[in-house]
Structure 1
Amino acid sequence: MASFNYIKEREWKKLQGWEGKLLSQAGREVLIKAMIQAIPTYTMGCFKIPLGLCHDIEALIKKYFWGQKGDQRKIHWVKWGELTKSKMVDGMGFKDLALHNDSLLARQSWHLLHNKTSPFYKVFKARFFPNCSIMEAIDSRSGSYAWRSILMGKEVIQRGARWWVGNGRTIKLWQHGWIPRKHSSLVASYQIESMAD
């Protein structure tokens, strides 16, 4: 979307201002984390940023980090995926912007699920999901781009959420994900007919 191009332009201007400064690679790392990756955070907390824009911003970051100036070619010694890993597992701790965007939108959905006294909840509840919770809400034609973005955040929560069995009265053992494991949280065995009722 052209509406978000201002983010890339702001980042490019910042990087151009720093390009002439004599910074070590560690200095460039600090500037990238403190400034460049922080610029789109507010917007990413409200809207799903196009993947193409995320890749463009990451391309600017990679060039700056490896010391590339203008059309000059520099070797990128490590894949970007390795640099986005935590420092605890030998990465550099840079943010994967698309995943960071998803996590910020999931946070908004989480607020709509739990903070039921906030004005944010009251406005969105009345407008977009008056008869259900955010987890059952669906996209509507009247929904704004912000609402569709929050629904994408809801999908992130649904992928990682697990039912808490409790007393077992409201859970559907074969339909709801409740098994605490990394992959499928659904029961893998066949459903017996007499238990289906």
Structure 2
Amino acid sequence: MILFSPNTSRAVRNIFSYLLGITVVENLNRYLGLPIPIGKKKKEAFNDINNRLSCRITSWTMRLLSFGGKEVFIKAVLQSIPTYALSIFLAPKGVIEDIQAKLSKTWWAGKDKGRFWTMLPWKTLCKPKGMGGLGIRDVRLLNLALLGRQVWRLINNKDSLCFKVLSSKYFPDSNIFKAKKVDKASFT
């Protein structure tokens, strides 16, 4: 499938559809689990991720997992769910807090489904094991690291199609650190 900008004429759409042998669609709701377009409300884009986290947490019976099992569950299962979205977007503070709250609740929740008592602050749990923590990744730092990796790829692969497209629009002088301000209307 291919989705064209509303400014693309019907004739151009038909030519590309014929040449590429693919179907033209007027609306593409999701791509790789994220809504398209994102628009101004990024928090709504992350609602699906929060729902998937909640479903995964409720699908496991927490009372059957030891602390070692919970650690593996959090690190291998729960933290992998938002990774793609965090590598594409700078998540709003509220979204990061929601994700970390779900992870913390998963760690500290006991047999009863009611209230739970946190014996250590979340930042302590996010420290490496050698420093007294559990090595759980801090979601905000993970988000920044994944976005930094994208910048690193652009800096080191200036011959890539991605770099050429982004640089022609956002940093025409090929300096990614001097990018133009993005017009909000271009995302809607």
Length-normalised TM-score, structure 2: 0.71
Query: 1:128–1:143: 8 Å Cα contact kept in structure 2?
Result: no
Describe the superposition over 1:92-130 as per-residue Cα deviations: whole angstroms up to 9, x where unpaired.
Answer: 111110111011111111111121121211111112111
Counterpart secondary structure, 1:37: helix
Letter in 2 for 1:115: N
TM-score (norm 1): 0.68
Gaps of 5+ in 1: 146-197
Matched, 1:136 2:136: no
Would you say 1:48 and 2:90 are equivalent positions? yes
Q: 1:33-182 alignment to 2 at 5 Å?
A: 33-68=75-110, 72-141=114-183
Of 50, 58, 68, 1:16 maps to 58
1:97/1:144 CA distance change after superposition, 3 Å: farther
Q: What residue number does 2:68 align with?
A: 26
Quick one: which amino acid aligns to residue 182 of structure 2?
S
Give the number of equivalent residue pairs: 145
One-letter amino acid of the structure 2 residue matched with residue 24 of structure 1: S
Give the whole-Å Cα distance in 2 for the aligned partners of 1:118 and 1:144.
Answer: 23
Identity of aligned residues (%): 37
Moved over 3 A (4+): 68-71, 142-145
Between structures 1 and 2, the one with greater strand share: 2
Superposition RMSD in Å: 1.9
Cα distance, 1:75–1:142 mapped onto 2, change above 3 Å: closer
Deviation at 1:84? 0.4
C-alpha offsets along residues 5-42 of structure 1, whole Å, 9 cap, x if unaligned?
Answer: 00000000000011356110110110110010110001
